């Protein structure tokens, strides 16, 4: 059974810092891995989707990497801004299931001006 863990649970950084959020998963037989952002009281917004054949994906200041063999993914945020403050969640499918995404508990990021 897939388990997804995210560390740290919370992170506070000053504006302008580069930062890395970590995600680990136990079942490496995944089709893809997704990173989401959730603002308070809102739904989840898809940030990046990495297919199993890819090693990384980039969107603006965000870069996500995937290492299936070690069961790890990282989300790199460059030059952080106060508007980046949110909870970031990663999700991986369970082995053998095409649709059942297992979510981590998220990392709550606070970027101080």
Binding site for other proteins (CB under 8 A): 31-32, 34, 36, 42-46, 49, 89, 91, 93, 97-106
Minimal distance in Å, beta carbon 76 to other proteins?
20
Minimal distance in Å, beta carbon 3 to other proteins?
12
Give 46 or 70: the residue with its C-beta nearer to other proteins: 46
CB 65 within 8 A of CB 76: yes
Helix, strand, or coil here: 56? Answer: strand
Minimal distance in Å, beta carbon 89 to other proteins?
7
Residue appearing with tokens 């001006």? 113
Minimal distance in Å, beta carbon 14 to other proteins?
28
Give 37 or 80: the residue with its C-beta nearer to other proteins: 37
Tokens (6 digits) for 91: 């999700």
Give 29 or 79: the residue with its C-beta nearer to other proteins: 29
End-to-end CA distance of the chain: 41
Give 40 or 83: the residue with its C-beta nearer to other proteins: 40
- Helices H, strands E: what count in the chain? 0, 11
Q: How far apart are CA 6 and CA 24, in angstroms?
A: 6
């Amino acid at each position: 059974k897939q388990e997804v863990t995210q560390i740290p649970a919370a992170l506070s950084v000053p504006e302008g810092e580069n930062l890395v959020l970590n995600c680990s998963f136990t079942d490496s037989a995944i089709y893809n891995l997704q990173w989401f952002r959730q603002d308070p009281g809102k739904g989840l917004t898809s940030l990046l989707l990495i297919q199993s054949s890819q090693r990384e994906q980039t969107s603006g200041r965000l870069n996500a990497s995937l290492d299936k063999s070690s069961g790890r993914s990282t989300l790199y945020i460059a030059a952080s801004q106060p508007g980046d403050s949110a909870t970031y969640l990663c999700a991986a499918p369970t082995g053998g299931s095409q649709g059942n995404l297992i979510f981590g508990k998220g990392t709550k990021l606070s970027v101080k001006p």
